């Protein structure tokens, strides 16, 4: 079992779970991911949502017919996600970056590989060493020609949270070190309208010919 309260990457999330879940659910999956929707699988696929929070994205993908595993290390958010999206078939897992030991401990068959791995507002919580280890873990779980879709937050760090100023360029380089190539990059303002906050959206694909 992952003890999220002992993890600096999830600092502040348990205490604010109700407020955060409301914030997450106040914007739609389609709006948050509008820049990358055209790259998501159009047929039923295996999807891993890492740092799933309230389950907004996991539920939207499950509603489209995908088989979704939602990883969330904060017990309070997992409980809220199960309640809010009880109508969707989502497998909730207590696991965490950088290593994702629970998922990676399931064996080495094709059933543990994912065609889409989603990380929404997660990557910037990891320090440099954790990001290196995490990219290796994600690549290990990614199916052939699978892709990682992630967003990076830039700007002021909320009180009580741990975030790092992680660039899109660094993330692309790190993905390349693990056999993943950039097929999309875009920048956009914060969907919640928070002053000084902006986002980078990246799609990294195994075996792709991007740069």
CATH number of 4-206: 3.40.50.150
Q: Is the pLDDT of residue 96 over 70?
A: yes
**19-57 pLDDT tens trace:** 888 888 999 999 999 999 999 999 999 999 999 999 999
Alpha-carbon distance of 138 to 88, in angstroms, equals 25
Query: Residue 52: phi, psi to the nearest 5?
Result: -70, -15
Measured CA to CA in angstroms, residue 208 lies from 80, 174, 175, 180 at distances of 37, 15, 12, 7
- Asked if 121 and 51 touch (Cβ cutoff 8 Å), the reply is yes
Residue ranges per structural domain of the chain? 4-206
Neighbours of 199 (CB within 10 A): 21
What pLDDT shows up at residue 1? Answer: 52
State the pLDDT at residue 111: 67
pTM of the model: 0.89
pLDDT digits (tens, 9 = 90+) for 171-202: 999 999 999 999 999 999 988 888 999 999 99
pLDDT computed for residue 7 by the predictor: 54
């Amino acid at each position: 079992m992952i003890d999220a309260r002992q993890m600096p990457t999830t600092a502040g999330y348990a205490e604010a779970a109700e407020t955060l879940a409301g914030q997450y659910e106040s914007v739609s999956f389609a709006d948050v991911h509008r820049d990358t929707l055209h790259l998501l699988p159009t047929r039923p696929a295996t999807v891993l949502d890492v740092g799933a929070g309230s389950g907004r994205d996991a539920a939207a993908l499950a509603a489209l017919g995908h088989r979704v595993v939602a990883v969330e290390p904060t017990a309070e958010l997992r409980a809220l996600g199960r309640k809010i999206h009880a109508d969707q078939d989502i497998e909730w897992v207590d696991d965490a970056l950088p290593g994702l030991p629970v998922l990676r401990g399931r064996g080495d068959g094709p059933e543990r590989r994912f065609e889409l791995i989603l990380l929404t507002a997660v990557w910037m919580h990891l320090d440099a060493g954790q990001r290196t280890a995490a990219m290796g873990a994600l690549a290990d779980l990614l199916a052939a020609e699978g892709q990682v879709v992630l967003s990076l937050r830039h700007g002021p760090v909320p009180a009580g949270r741990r975030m790092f100023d992680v660039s899109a360029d660094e993330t692309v380089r790190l993905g390349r070190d693990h056999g993943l190539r950039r097929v999309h990059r875009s920048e956009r303002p914060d969907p919640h309208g928070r002053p000084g906050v902006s986002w980078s959206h990246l799609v990294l694909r195994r075996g792709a010919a991007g740069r």
